[in-house]
Every structure is written in structure tokens, then in C-alpha cells.
Structure 1
Amino acid sequence: MKDAAQTRILAVALAIATLAACVLAVINLQRENGYEVPTDGISWIETTGGLRAQYVPAGSPGDRAGVRTGDVLVGVNEHPVARTSALIRQMFRSGIWGHATYSILRPGAHASNLNNTAKLDIQVILVPTDVSINQGLRFIALVYLSIGLYVLFRRWTAPKSTHFYVFCLVSFVLYSFKYTTELDTFDWIIYWGNIAAGALQPALFLHFAVNFSDDYKQPASRLRRRILCAALYLPGIFLIGLQCWAILYWSATGELRHRLDQISVAYLAIYYVTAAVVFQVRYRGAESALERQQLKWLTRGTLLAIAPFTLIYAIPYLADIHVPSLLTKLAGLSLVFLPLTFSWAIVRYRLMDVDLIFKRGVTYTLATGALVGLYFAVVAVTAEMVHARLPSLRTWGLLVAIVVTGLIFDPLKRAIQGRVDKMFDQRRFDYRETLVEFGRGLNSQTDLRALLDSIVEQLPQALLVTRVAVFLAAETDIPHPAPRFELAASHGLTNLSPAELKSIDVGFLDFDQPEANNHLFLENPQQVLRLPEMQRLTAARLDLNYYVPCLVANREGSGTRTVAIIGLGRTNDGDFLSSEEMEVLESLAGYIGIAIQNAQLYRRLEQKITDFERLKEFNENIVESINIGILAVDLDDRVESWNAQMEVLFARPRASALRQPISELFPADFVTRFNAIREEQGTHTLYKFRLALPSGESRVANIAIAPLVTRNFITIGRIILVDDITDRIQMEAQLTQSEKLSSIGLLAAGVAHEVNTPLAVISSYAQMLSKHMRDDERLAPVLEKITQQTFRASEIVNGLLNFSRTSGSEFASVDLNDLLRDTLVLLEHQLKTAQIRVETNFDPQLPPVHGNRGKLQQVILNLMLNGKDAMFGRPNATLRIATFRGAGRVLVRIQDTGAGIEREHLHRIYDPFFTTKTKPQEGGHKGTGLGLAVTYGIMQEHAGKIHVESEIGVGTAFQLEFPVSAPRPLVSPEIAQDPDRKTIHA
């Protein structure tokens, strides 16, 4: 009853303390958010004549105003400031974002005093004090409180659970209580609560580290431990007293506050480092695997939290070394690793699970109590005998009897203690603990292969057996009344070859029958006469004495089924397993069966996830690779899918388009059409819909809108297909224009053919008249000019007919000089009209080339016309045409002085339907983009090459290279080189 009452009182006290701490922390947070403290960001310290700037952080208000380290502040707003308290009062009078006039004395480089120093008035704009670190510290406080509550509710009766919760509650107070400097009654409560928590929290933590393992078995050891733990709190009590003394009796200066803060930080760092050292020492000396795992995480977590705090914050702060504020904040926030490490150790390694230690303590306490009782009984008997037999000795005789009895009792105590140790078989207890831990840890393993390897590795170590085998039931989607088992993993079966392991027949392992036992025992596996021949050979080869089924619940219906069977041989000493060991093994088989089933389910789930992801990726690849924009919208017209073609078309990434309404992505006319057909069934297509893009460009597209339905034909949205046909329409228009030009060419050829007849009549009559009037000095010259002009007109018409005449693919020897002259004759009038001067430089010894005259003339004509268009309206327009020879090559160079081609367009000029003449000048014409494409194809057909050099504002030069049709002696490079050729850099 007394213990129950104490427990209730303790629970009520902890609940009241927790509730009060939480309420005060919430109110403190609200008041801090509503109360801002002005600051100049400078660290001031008292000095002779005022306050000296000890540290001016870069970017602080004082730094921006021009205050430097070492400046002495003598006044603020014409009020003297001899101490930091006076400065703080003036700051509050100026207010946040207010202007404070600082009177500064700035000593020179070699000045020893401030007597002759000029006073500077500096305007400082005060800003709110940065308290962002407090929010991070409050997060640490919540972590501490959550972990403490978890441990308290889950393990209320466990040893040290109350101590651990008190440590977490004090840590919550330490990190959540932040006084605001209002210093009213509530602020004083917060202030002293933070001071008390700062003094108690390190001591509680070190106390927990010292008291973690209950290794104190003797009363003297427990007493020393209690004295040591009590002594741990003395420095904290001293710090609290120091704070009280400083407030009551010492002068409030900035230096005093700084020194007190340094003492508190040093106290915190020393205790934390000491706790880390204690954890490390206990970790190295721990014998239990569980305790080592607990201490490993506690040690590493403590070091991870303490090292940055000590190295980056505590040591520089104690040495007055200034560290950037960001690093100090990170160092302070690193303390969150301490409670997080505790939470991981609690969840993963059962930090508060000390039942085993408790049971051992009870055992040793009972044994020690019995020994102590026997000791005092012997002492009493001995004392009575001394008192009765030797009354003259009196008190001295009694003391001597006690000492002698104690000396005699020590060997007796050791003997009794040894008997107690033998009574409790420690080895068996440890092995049972290992089996239980192994069974509980199985469920955390999801890889079937690793799980089986772990089973066959740990079972021999735990049970000390020589042979272990695990048989798995074959996985089938359809339940089978008699499952087939296969050997999946083994240990110690070295007498079997891989072929024999595959050919074993374990049909005798059938535990799914109603009358089946909990396990199968074969006393002599070599002589199991009741089994068929193949199964008897299998049992002899395996040489396993025990077969234990791993049972799990059926997938459908009630009952159990066997998912695996564990086979075990004898122990290392050749003994059979005891009944107690078989009970533990049967319990462990249940854990193993569940673990195997979970691993199989996990593997099947992984396979299905892999198949699903592969199918999903395949479908996404199809959607992403198709050259049509595809998007899906839900019933609220929000975009759910947006493929790569839509990203290119709308120049909008997928992330910014998803979950956006289509009204924000598409133009209003499309949204109107979409809303008009949304209630209608079936697929609707908007043919040649002009779509205005966000970039300002307008594209023509065929847009299909169809309902998006599920397998159950339930409409869940709309799918929209956008097929951009702008380029196709432009291509069709260009092809139409090309057909029109072709028709015009045929018509011009027909007209030229018809013109030949009247030209022949005119030429005939003009020649006849010139013969009759050759003596007429006035008319003869006129008739001669008429005859010459008719010949010239006939040549032009014949050249036009030759060019328009459909020629086959016959190749012959072609003189490029004659071909160039004929082409110039065709373009003579156009070039004169455009005021273009033609300069020619033909190699008279130019060898012929093997090619088709009509196609080559088309190439030259295209290049000349492009040059004419490029020079349209430019002054001093010149078209230079030259032929020359190279090494086994014939070269033609056509160079203009036009506007040139943009560098980024040079690699596209041979693409079909690509043209730079989209906006021709007045008098020019729009290009089709086919001339250079046809030219390139003809040059490829003639095994030739075409090169282009162009510079904006200078001109363009095309150079054609043809292989010579017959070998001829080559002239020297100096003669072959065109003397008038001008180098143009592309």
C-alpha cells in the first residue's frame, strides 16, 4: 500500500509538473512573438569612460552604421552610457527601426588613451533581436518531451524510467523557456526556470550515464554510487547560488553576464563530454550484445551531438573567439541528435527493457539477504557466548567476537555464493535469451535468401548443434493439399554433393495432417524402416534427428499450413536436445514461419512492383516518345498528365503545368470550344484549329478531345491530343507554290517556242532587206542591228528552251565555262535591271566534267539567282564568277556582295523548305526553300561537293567541286589559284 501511494503521488507530481511546463512554454512562446527587443548587433563590454565594442559582426546594424571593433561608446542620444544596462534602456527608448545617435570615441593606431580623441556621432538603425535559434531549440524540447512521455507510458515500471522522464522534462524546460527581458513576474519565472533547468539537466544526464548498468551488487558499492550521484548535483546547485548572489549583491555589468554565461556553458560542455566518456567506457566493458548495441548508439549519438557543440560553440565562446552566427546556430541545433539517438535506441534496441537486469538483481539481492541474515545470526550467537562465558570482556569482547566472526564468515560467504551461481545455470539462460532475441529479430529481415542464411548460421550457435537444414514449401498460386518441400539452406551437410542435395525426397515431412505432431523425432536416421526406399535414403543422407514445422495461418479460411521445416542434428557433444530446448525451438519455429511468409510476400510484392513499374515506364515511354502533344485533365479541368511534346509546344515544364486548370494554359477560344463539347459523348476533333501559344506564336493543330474512362467505363476526365500541323501546312503551301512555278516554267517554255517562229520570220526578212539595201548608208546599219537583235533574241529563247526541256539522267562531257556563259545570257537582263555588275574569270584550260548539262545549269542558275536576291537594293553590287583547277578537281566559285547568312542558319540552308527570304524587300520575292536543297542533291549525284562561306554585311561565296572527266596535266598552284578570289570568313 505504501509503494502504491508513493507511485500515485509521484505520478500526480509528474503530471502537474509536465502540464505546468507545457502551459508556461506556450505562454512564453506567445509573449516572445509579441515582444521584440531592439539591438545593434554589437557585443559591448564595460571599459574606462564607456563601453568598448568587443565584436562587431559583419552585416549587423552597427557594422552598417560604421562602428568598428575597439570603438568606445560614451553616449546614446546625448545620454551617457557607462554600463550595458544604460545602453539597453536607450535602445528601448529609440525602439525597433528607430534611429539611435551613438557618441563614439575611436582610438588611433598608436593611441594609448582617449583624452585627445575626437568624438564621432553615428546614426544606428536598431533592428529586432534575432531569436530564430529559439524555435530550433523548442523543437529539441518537443523531441525530448515526446520521448520521455513514450518511455513513461510504455515502461512505467521499468527501472530508471522515472529518472529518464525527469531528465527529458528538465531538458524540455531548458530548451523551451526563453525569457524576453521584460522581467515582469512571469518573465522572472521563466528566467529562473531556465537557470534551474540549465543546472539540473547536465547533472541528470551524467547521472543517467553513470547509473545506466546496475553492476553494483554489494551494499558498499551501492552506497558509493549514491554518494557519487549526489555529488554530481553539487556544481549545479553552486551555479544556481552563484546566479542568485550575482543578482542580489554584484553590480549588473555586461562583463559579469558574459562570465556567468561562460561558466554555464563550460559546466554544460564538461558534463556532456564526461557522459560521453562514461558511455564509451561502459561500451568497451559491456559483455551483453544487447547492452553493447544500446551503448553503441548512445555513445555515438552523444558524440555526434556534443562534438559540434563543444568544438564550434563552447570552446570558442569560452576563449572569446568569435564564430559566424550560422555555425553557432548549427552547433546548437546539433544537440537534437541526443534525443533522436535515445529514441532510436529505445525503439530499435529496447533501451528501457531492463527486465533481465532486474531479475538478476532480485536473485543476487535474495542471496545477499540470506547471507547477511546468516551473518548477523552467527554474530549474535557468538556475542551471546562471549557475554555468558567471558563477562569480564564486556563491550570489547563483543567487538572482538564480531571481527573474528566476520573474518571466518568471508570464506563461508564465498562458498554459499558459488552454490547459488551453480543453482542458476547462466549458460542455459543466456542461450534461451539468444534464441528469443533471434526469433524477435527475424521479422525485420525481408530478404528471403539473407533470412535463410541467418537461420542456418545462428541456430547452430544458439543450440550448439552440428547440422541444420531449412526446407521450403514450393510456392504455387493454387493451394495444394500436400505441398512439396525443397532444401533451401543448410549448415554442416558436407557429406552431400550438390547433385544429391537436389535429388532428395522429403515426402515423409507432412505436418499438415490433422493427427500430425508438433515435431518429428528420428532417434536413428540411418534406420527408419517405416519409410519408402527413396525417403529412407534421404533421411540417412541428411542425418537429422529433429524436424520442426514452421506454421502460419492459411491464406483463406481457418487452420494453419506449413511454409518451412527446420531440421536439426545432435549437439556438439553428441547429445539429443532437451524438452525445454524443444519447447523453445517450437516457439521459435513460429517466428521463423511468419518471417519466411513475410519475406516471400515481400519478394512477390517486389516482383509485382517491378512489373508494374516496368509496364508504367513502358507506357510512359510511348506517351513521351509520340510526336503528338498529350494531356489529361480531371473532371475539374485540372491537368493530370503533360507529356514532353506539350512541354516543347507550350514551352512550359511538366511540374508547372500539373494541377493547373486548362483555362490558365490554353487560350480563351480553345477553352470556349472545350466547354461547349464537354457534356457531349464521343470523340470530338477541332480541325486546323489556330492555337495561340504563351510565347506569342500561333500554331495550327488538329485537336482531338475524348473522354478518359476506367475499366468500368466510368468517366474520370478528358484526354486531349494536340497534333501540330503548322509545318505540314507550310510544306503543302510551298509544294503548291512549287507546282505553280513549275507550271509557269512550262508555260514560259511554250511561249518561248512560239516566239521562235515570228523571230525566224523577222530575221529572214531583215536579212533579205539588208541584201537589197546594202548600198543604202542610212537603212543598212538599221537592218544589221535588227538582224543582230533577232539572233540574240533567238539565242535567249533557245537557252530558255534548253533549260526547261526535260532531260534524262544521261551524263556527258560538259564544259563548265560554256555552261556559265549560257546561264549568264539567260540572266543578263535581270542582272542589269538589278544594277548588278558581273565579273568573270574563267580558266581557258579548264578540263570538262562528266555530268548532266541541264542539272548542272539548274545548280548554277539557283546560286546566281540567290546571289541576285541577296544583293537586291545594295550599292556596288557585284557578282563574281570564276573557274579554276585543283588537284584532280574542277572548281566553280560564285561570290556575291550581299547581306550574308546568319551563322546559326548556315547548317540548315540545305534543308528542304528552309529559307531566309521569308520577308523579302520591296521588289524581291519570297523563297520556297527548295533551291539549295535541289542543288545539294544534284551535287551529290555528280560526286561533287559544295562549300559555303558567309559573313554578315560582306557577302556569301559558294564553291562547287567536280571531279575531272579525263586526266590532264595540272598547272602550278599559282596559276590554278583565282587571282581575284576574296577570302570570306564564315
Structure 2
Amino acid sequence: IARFFIIFPEHRTSVWILDLATVVAAIGAAATAIALNAEGWWPVLTTLLRAAFSIALVGGIVLHIVRWWQAARDARARRQIEWAALGLLVGLVPWATVVWLPRQLGIEVDPFSWMMVLPMVALPFALVAATMEYRLWDLEPIARDALSATLVLVIGGFAFAVTNHLLVNYAGGFGSLRNLFAFATGVLLVMLLQPIRTQVGHFLEHWLYHGRRPPRWLLTHATRELAQVTEPRELLSRLTSTLRDGLDFDVVATYLRVGDGAFSRVGSPEGYLPEHIPASVLSHHFPSSEEEALAAAGYTLRLTLDRVDTVHGLLYLGLRRGLFPLGSEAREVVEAFTAQAAVALESARYLDDLRQQAEEYRILHANTQRIIESSAAAILVCDASGRILSANTEAAGIFEVNAPELVSVSLDSLVVLPQEWRDNLPLQAANAEGRTKDPLHRRVIMAVSVLELDSGSFNGRVVVLQDVTELRELQDRIRDQERMAALGRLASGLAHEINTPLTGISSFAQMLGEMTPPEDPRASLVSKLVDQSFRVSRIVANLREAIRGGGEEMTILDLASVARNAALEAARSLGAADRLEIEKSGPVMALGVTGPVELAVSNMVRNAIEASDPGMAIRISTACGEVWAEVRVDDSGPGVAEKDLERVFEPFFSTKTDRGGTGMGLAITRDMISNLGGEVSLENLAHGGARATVRLRRWKESEASS
């Protein structure tokens, strides 16, 4: 034993003096047993051997304490010494406590003395384990279990020995009650041993881990804390601090898998550690060439945080307290802990991915809304039936409501849709014409595209409307102007062709009038023939000037007089002069040209006569205001349909196509008056019939003076 303590754990130490002394002592002891009459030396020899053993034991313990203190930076030697000390403690303390100490106190424990020899088996096992370095780094859990069992055995054995001594010496008169009391005491001790062992284990665990949490704490408490972290980098930071503080690791590094498959370091930058580690290190043992910097910094172990063949992160660990590697129990705990941490990390990464996707969706949705809102077209999101789900500002402007008010409204109630769109909107459509159902009757072009509202279900539609009212009106005006230009060329040619015979007719009529005496009954007919030929000539000239845009300078005219004459001529030509009711009024002075005004009033009167039933009156009136002078022609007909009030002024639109109407009269009338700076309008009267109004700018005497 002394020799072992001297050479352990340094196997090269020379102890020949001690070996020689041991041999001499062994020979001397053997000689006393062989030599005759040597029994008298036995007590002396026994005393010497006990003294030598005690001196060697105490010296070995002191020597090991000194060597343990000197091996502060040699973790392996220090742990071997601790293993040997554990064997001594477990092997000798029970015997010293239960056998030697009671004997010194005069207490006989012969029935239990043989049991105290059994723990001494731990002494050679511990010495062999220390020498062979067997489970060298598992000292803490083994020491906890061995010492707790030893202390429980010591406490139980000593208590039972003392109790038995008291019962034998002082309770002899109780008879069988003494045996019953001894049995009850034994049962009570057995019941108390397990809780005592648990409490002793907690105490030893607290002492062995220097007041820090044991490895099992990671599985019961730290795992629960990590499960509450939802951000991957924060989770790895918590893992680092937990391992560093809970298991006394001097260095801990964590790496998180990033998008390209590599691993990025988590934590504050440290120049001696790589910031990124490629995924190729997983196919090599630690340390690979990319991990040499980690090995040089004191890292000794790499653990993967993986789930279902997917590695989410890497964990690098150094030594515990800068000296000790992981023992088997601590490694199992750390591996189980990292497995739980991998689950938490996977959940955190998925949650982080969902959070990022939600943020990307929010940004995408916000940008989409901005794009939709900034669009010059009206955009509606509808379901397949046409129920509006959302609308942009332009759409609200077309329908003249706030955008939220359009939600849940049917598109069919807002726009005149094609017949095939009434039940369900098409999946795809473009350039479909429609009109709004509001009083403005805006003309729109519609395009439809399919939209996936629910996963796998294309039950939505995006409807884009473009207000083309002004564009269509411009196109109509251009088309009308082209028609008018063609008509003007035709009218100019016809006027030239008509003027040639008309000039002859007019000349011959004048000659015939000169040749016919006034008292001749045919003189009045000849006079009418001359007047009508002149009238036809004026109509052709006015029509040509109106179509060409006119070039005459506006003059001051009495609108009442011009209107009265034009109305009478138009009524006479249709044989309806007796149906005119001309309101008497004073002069109504306006700025204009007589020919176009006469032609406009004539067209209005003709239309009124044709629209009214035979015998019904046609009322002609004039009025003036601050700015305008007006001629009003009221008929007694059925009026004009509301939808046609504006269209009647379009070229080639006529409500009298069955009676030879060409649709040019009111169009020419409006253009002629517009060229004079005036207006022509048509409205229905409350009591029936329609009113056509020719409006010119009023002339005031102050204008002449100015």
C-alpha cells in the first residue's frame, strides 16, 4: 500500500528502499511463524505491522493530498488521485466507523463486523480503475452513488449496532419484548434508509459540483426554458450560456445553418473563431481542416443539432473547468439536452420562417395595395359570382362612392355586363364593353383574370375597368367629323349642281313675273315661285356655309324677328302655318348670323310639326337673360325618350327612319349654332311634348359703347 501511494500516479519513481524494507518485514513475519518458541514475538510483530500500516496509510494520504494540490493543471493525474481517494473512503470508512470506533467505545458489534469488510473490496477496484484510467471522467456520478450508499450503510449499521448493544445490556429483563423492539427498530431503519440516501445524494451532488446545477438539471429545467424561445439565434445564445454556466464549460460555440447550407456563428465576434463553417465538415470527424481554429482554441467536441436528417446547427464544447472532458453521464445528458435543443431549434426556425414569410406577405400585400391604389385603372377583386371583395380608389371614383361601400356589392348592380357574365364571371376576358348603371352612364372597358382565393380553388376574379367615356366621345366626334367632312364634300358638289339649274329657274321665274301683269290671277303663283327659288338658294348657301364652318362675320340681329320669319316659312312649306302660336315680344337682340339661325329655327319647327299630331299647336317664344337670348320651340308630341335626349344630336341618329329621317338635321343645327358660340338643347316638358331651345349670346348696348 505504501509503495503504491509513493509511485502513483507516476510509475517511474524508484522505491527500492521501501521494497527492501517490505521484503525484510515479510521475511521477519514469516520467520516468527516458522521458528519454534517465537510466539512471544507475535504481539510485538503485530504492533510493529499495525504501526507500519498506519504510518504508510497516513503518509500515503498526505502524499496524495500534496500531489493532488500540485496537479492543479494536470486533469488526468488529478482525477486518478481522486479515484484512489474514493476507493480509500468507501473501503475503510465503514470498517472504521462500524467496527473500530464502537470497539474503542466498548461496544461489541461482532455480528456485523464481517459485513464491514465487504466495502473494502472498493479499495483495490478503485486503485485498479485509477491505474487503468477506467471511466476516469465519471468520478462525480460514481462518487455520488458510492458515497451515498457507504454513508447510508455506515449510518444504518452504526445505529443498529448501538441499538442492539443497548438492548442486550440494559433490556435483558423484557424477554420477548426486547426481540420485538429490535425487529421494529430494524424495520424503521430500513424505511428511513432510502430517504436518507436521497438526501445524502443531494448533499454530495451539491458538494461534488461545487454548488452548481447537476447535469440532470439541464433535462428538467433548461429544456423547458429553451422551449419558450422562438428566435433561433436567441435560442442558441441561451444554449451557450446554459452549458457554460450549468456544466462549467470554459468555451462553448454555436453555429446556425443559413440559407446556402453553411453555418454562421452565433454570438459576439471573436477573431480566433471562424464566422462561417461549410456543411462539408459534417462528413469528417472533428477537427476537420475547417475546424482547426476551433481545436486550437480549446474546443474538443462537436455535436450536431439535427432533426430528421436535417442539421439545423452545430455545437462545439471545450473542457469542463478548463481541465476535464465530458464523462459518460455528462455526455449522455448533454447529448439528450442537445437533442431537445434541436427540437426547440427546429421549431424556432420554422416559426422564424413563418414569421419572415408573414412579414414578406405583409410587405408584398402592402406593395400590391400601393400598386393597385396608384393604378389609373379601376381594379376590383370579386368572387366568381361577381360579389366585390375589395376595390381601389379609382374604382370608387368611377362609381362615385367610397371604396369600403363597394365591398359585398354585386358587380352586375353597378355595370351593364354581357349576358354570359350574369351568372358567373369568365376566367379570362379582355376588351369587353359596358356602361355604368348610374345616371352618368360611363362607358368602360372590362378585363377579367382568374384569381386563387383559396388554396387550390380558382374562385376569384380580378376585374379591371377603364373609363373610356371621354375616349369614346372623342372617337365619336372624330367619326362624326369625318362623316360631316364627307357630307360637306357631297353637299358642296350637290350645291354646285343644284345652283346651276336653280339659277336658271330663278331667272326664268323673274322673267315670267315681269311678263305677267299684276291683275293676272297667275301673278301670285309666279311671285311664290320666285320667293321659293330664292329660299332654296339661301338654304343651299347656308347649308354649304354651315358644313364648311362658315366664314361670315357675326352681326347684331333681332332674334325674335329672325325666328318668326324662319318659323313661318318652315310652317308654310309643310302647309301648317295656321298651327303656329308665335308669342309677341319686343326685339331680342343677339350676336349671330342670320342664315344659320334661320336654318336652325326652321329645322326645329319642322321637327316639332312632324312630331305633333295633325291640328296640334306649335308654340314659338323668345326670351333673354343676363347672358343668353333664346328661341324656344314647343311641340305637342309624345316627347323624346330619356336615353335619346343626347343622342338625337349625333349625326345619322334619327327617331324617324321609317319616315325618311336621315339623322342630320339636329346635328347640323347644333354645329351651326356652336360655331356662333351658342347652344342647342332638347328637353321634355312636364305637361307633355318637347322643347327645343336655340341659345345665342345676348347683345347689350353697353357692348357697342365699349
After TM superposition, the score normalised by the length of structure 1 is 0.34
After TM superposition, the score normalised by the length of structure 2 is 0.45
Between the two structures, name the one with larger relative contact order (CA 8 Å, sep ≥ 6).
2
Q: Which has the larger radius of gyration?
A: 2
